[in-house]
Every structure is written in structure tokens, then in C-alpha cells.
């Protein structure tokens, strides 16, 4: 049996009270409940406070560059689909610097889970606007207020994602449920996580979110297979903020469609230079 102790890692350098703690605890809980052993899990992170998370638990870890957790996660998943691959990012990392990878990996539907710690601010560089900062939000780099934010939920639905969800770092129970659903979902699973930054975002605080979030699964009649309803819900932001699975549909994954992977993981395929003999003959 896997226990939470199997996932205890190094001591974190996060600020006391940081929303990241809830995310870390929820992830450990989800992995334990899925009975995954650390060696079966690959955590690929970007740069920022979220990017440090893999060091604070256990697993295989590839801590990549700023904005780039998704491409190496995809490469590793294709090389060895037996791994449970989780990419970990933040709003600046994933939606800003890594925006192009976000869009195209959704479209291709790689079988990975993508956790985006969305605190609507740049934390590690100490308090600048992020792609999800609320419009008008005043920061050190936007003294006259931030531009309108991107809407990752709507963007993901519009781009063809098969699993689009949002959760809240202050609700570990809900978050770990979303993570489990995302990890077990076959295909690309986005979990946008509302994460209070106690040091630099004094607007979108724990209590601010707590007063607003409500669970989609508790809404009578909400059907996460209805794409247009999901898209409409994705635009709800303000006094009420929905969390839960906005949209889910099982679609063919990128990996399933690769003929080479039907013979088993690439990492287990032997290397045989002689297999190119017929290719050489084609040039004769």
C-alpha cells in the first residue's frame, strides 16, 4: 500500500500560508488514493514557485525551463506511456511564457495531466502582473492597471480539450478529487487551480475566493458533456466563480494514434542498426 509518507519530500521554501501547500497536499492525497508508487510518476515542472513543487514530494522529477514544462512532459510520455505524467506550472509559466505549448498540446490531446497554479500574480519575481491578473489590477509593472486577463478555461474548451476543470487550493478535498479525475482521464487534462498568493496578491485572497467559489457538480442539471454550456460557464467570473469539471469528453489521444507505440513503449524497443538494410536498398 502506498501511503502519504511515500510522498514526503524536501522542506519547502514557500512563504508561510502559501496556497501551494494546499496543492501539494492534494497531489499527495490523489497519488496515494490512486495507489501510484513514486517511481511510476513523472512530475515535470516549469519555473516559478509552482515549479519547485516536485522537489517537495517524491517521484521522478524533471524541473524544466520557464514556460516549458509541457513539451518535455509530452516527449517523456511518448517515450514511455507507462509513466503517469503530470506537468506542473503557474499562470505566468503556463499561460504566458508557455502559451503556445498550452494551446497545441490541448489540440493534440496528449495523455498528461496539467496542473496550473493560478495565483493571478508573479510571485517569485515579487509582484508583477500575470496573464490572469484581473483587469485594472495594479502591480509594479502595471501602475495604471492590468490589461484584461486570458480565460484559460474558455480557451481550453475552444481549443478542443477533453478535460477542463478548475479547483481551489483552499479546498484540498475538492482539488484532490479533480486531480484524480484528471489523472485517470484518458487524454490531456487541465486543472486550473485558484491559488492565493499571500505575499503579493492582496486582492484575490483565501477569503476572497472562499466567498465566491461554488461547485459545478452541486449544480442540478449541469452537464459537463455539453460543450456550449461549458463555454458559457467558463465566462462566469466575479461574484460567483464556478469550480469543478467544466467539460469532459473522451477523445482519441495523441499517443493512441501513434502506430509505433502499439508495440509497447519506445524505451523498451531494442536498437538494431541492421533494420535499416531495406532502407539502404531503397537508395540503390
Q: Site residues (CB under 8 A) for another protein?
A: 10, 37-40, 42, 44, 47, 52, 54-55, 58-65, 68, 70-80, 82-83, 100-101, 103-104, 258-261, 263, 266-267, 269, 271-277, 279-280, 283-284
| In 67-155, beta strands by DSSP E | 84-90, 113-118
C-alpha distance from residue 166 to each of 17, 66, 123, 246 (Å):
21, 22, 20, 8
Q: Which C-beta is closer to another protein: that of 14 or that of 137? A: 14
Question: Residue written as cell 469550480?
Answer: 243
Report in angstroms how near the CB of residue 229 gets to another protein at its nearest: 29
Residue 3, all three cell numbers: 501511503
Shortest Cβ 252–another protein spacing (Å): 16
Residue nearer to another protein on the CB measure, 73 or 183: 73
- The three-point CA angle 64-188-247 to 5° equals 135
Is 275 strand, coil or helix?
Answer: helix
Task: Give the cell for residue 49.
Answer: 514557485
Write down the least CB distance from residue 52 to another protein, Å. Answer: 7
User: What's the burial of 31, exposed, middle or buried (CB within 10 Å: 0-12/13-18/19+)?
Assistant: buried
Is the Cβ–Cβ distance between 128 and 94 less than 8 Å? no
Q: How far is the CB of 241 from another protein (least distance, A)?
A: 30
Between 47 and 169, name the residue whose CB sits nearer to another protein. 47
Closer CB to another protein, residue 70 or residue 181?
70
Which of 10, 138 has the CB closer to another protein?
10
Query: Closest approach of Cβ 90 to another protein, in Å?
Result: 15
Amino acid at each position: 500500500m502506498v501511503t502519504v509518507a511515500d510522498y514526503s519530500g524536501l522542506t519547502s521554501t514557500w512563504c508561510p500560508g502559501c496556497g501551494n501547500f494546499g496543492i501539494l497536499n492534494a497531489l499527495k492525497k490523489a497519488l496515494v488514493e490512486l495507489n501510484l508508487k513514486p517511481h511510476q510518476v513523472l512530475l515535470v515542472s516549469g519555473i516559478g514557485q509552482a515549479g519547485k513543487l516536485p522537489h517537495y514530494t517524491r517521484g521522478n522529477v524533471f524541473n524544466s525551463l520557464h514556460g516549458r514544462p509541457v513539451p518535455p512532459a509530452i516527449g517523456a510520455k511518448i517515450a514511455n506511456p507507462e509513466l503517469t505524467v503530470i506537468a506542473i506550472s503557474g499562470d505566468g509559466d503556463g499561460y504566458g511564457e508557455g502559451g503556445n505549448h498550452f494551446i497545441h498540446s490541448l489540440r493534440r490531446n496528449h495523455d498528461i495531466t496539467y496542473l496550473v497554479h493560478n495565483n493571478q500574480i508573479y510571485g517569485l519575481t515579487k509582484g508583477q502582473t500575470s496573464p490572469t491578473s484581473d483587469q485594472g489590477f495594479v502591480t509594479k509593472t502595471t501602475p495604471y492597471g492590468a490589461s484584461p486577463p486570458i480565460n484559460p478555461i474558455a480557451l481550453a474548451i475552444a481549443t478542443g480539450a477533453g478535460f477542463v476543470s478548475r479547483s481551489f487550493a483552499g479546498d484540498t478535498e475538492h482539488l484532490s478529487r479533480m486531480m484524480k479525475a484528471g489523472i485517470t482521464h484518458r487524454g490531456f487534462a487541465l486543472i486550473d487551480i485558484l491559488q492565493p498568493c499571500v505575499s503579493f496578491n492582496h486582492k484575490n485572497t483565501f477569503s476572497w475566493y472562499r466567498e465566491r467559489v461554488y461547485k459545478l457538480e452541486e449544480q442540478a442539471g449541469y452537464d459537463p458533456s455539453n460543450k456550449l454550456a461549458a463555454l458559457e460557464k467558463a465566462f462566469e467570473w466575479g461574484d460567483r466563480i464556478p469550480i469543478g469539471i467544466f467539460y469532459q469528453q473522451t477523445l482519441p489521444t495523441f499517443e493512441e494514434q501513434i502506430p509505433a507505440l502499439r508495440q509497447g513503449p519506445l524505451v523498451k524497443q531494442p536498437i538494431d542498426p541492421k533494420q535499416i538494410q531495406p532502407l539502404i536498398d531503397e537508395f540503390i
